[in-house]
Amino acid sequence: MGKLDGRVTLVTGASRGIGAAIAKRFGAEGARVAITARTLDQHEHLEGSLLETARQIEAFGGEALPIVGDLADPSGLEDIVGQAESALGPIEVLVNNAAAAFYLPFTKTSEKRFRVANDINFFAPWRLSQLVVPGMRERGEGWILNISSATSILPEQTTFKDFDALSILYGSTKAALERFTAGLAAAVHSDGIWVNSMAPVGAVPTEGTEALGVVPDEALAVAESREAMAEASLALCTTRDPALTARITYCTPLLEELGLETHACDGKTRIGSPLEVDAAKLR
């Protein structure tokens, strides 16, 4: 019996990278997973697609529902939830993973990119949570996980020498996401709903981060695997610990705190260390 047997889950940004790993891991635990992204079939430049993620979920024993959607378009968010719930039932677990990362100088960041980053990184999680919380309240339980970033951390006010000035926009949206996480957790804790955020300590090598080519060496030095991120996500989306909510957590520290080992996305193959491993053959 899987930890998510029959649970209806919605994972955003699940065509590749962290979102795909989370969706596959949840599927391996028996979840009925609605996955959404802009790419149904193969992307022009990046590997991965919703159909590929869906095939893996089904191969691992889960049920998958690909939903094409653009989280930068606020008018389509209700339709994403509607499609998921019409086909699978009320959403019990929501993972807000999709993100737009623009690494640009402050004075070179356009209004359009500012709005896209805020729409995807902050408003979409806000609105999707609004759409699923009433049902969770009615059932008396639910789990919401927001995938964040270490770029949200305030810069050191001494020399600022380690601050990445290109991350101002991305880090600001993730800081807003974390404040939202804590506030929502406080508002719904008595309804049996767990709300947390979780981020990698440094970076997670994915198709997207590799394409950006802006991840600093110091971040890669403490990089965590997609499988580790999926393992930590699973823990936060199955917990019933009343103290494990409103947490602004980080992947490796959380796995170490909970004494968990990382598994491949099939849920069976033991990897062990939460630190980055060469797991390409296991995906």
Rounded CA separation 261/267 (Å) = 11
Enter the pTM of the model: 0.89
Residues identified as active-site:
170
Give the pLDDT confidence score for residue 44 in this predicted structure.
54
pLDDT digits (tens, 9 = 90+) for 115-139: 999 999 999 999 999 999 999 999 9
pLDDT at position 281 is: 37
| Ordered structural domains, the chain, with CATH | 8-282 (3.40.50.720)
Please write the tens of the pLDDT for every residue from 91-101: 999 999 999 99
Tell me whether residue 157 is exposed, middle or buried, using C-beta atoms within 10 angstroms of its C-beta: 0 to 12, 13 to 18, 19 or more.
Answer: exposed
Please report the pLDDT score of residue 277 as a whole number: 46
Mark out the alpha helices in 121-273 (DSSP H runs). Answer: 124-139, 168-188, 207-212, 217-220, 226-236, 251-258
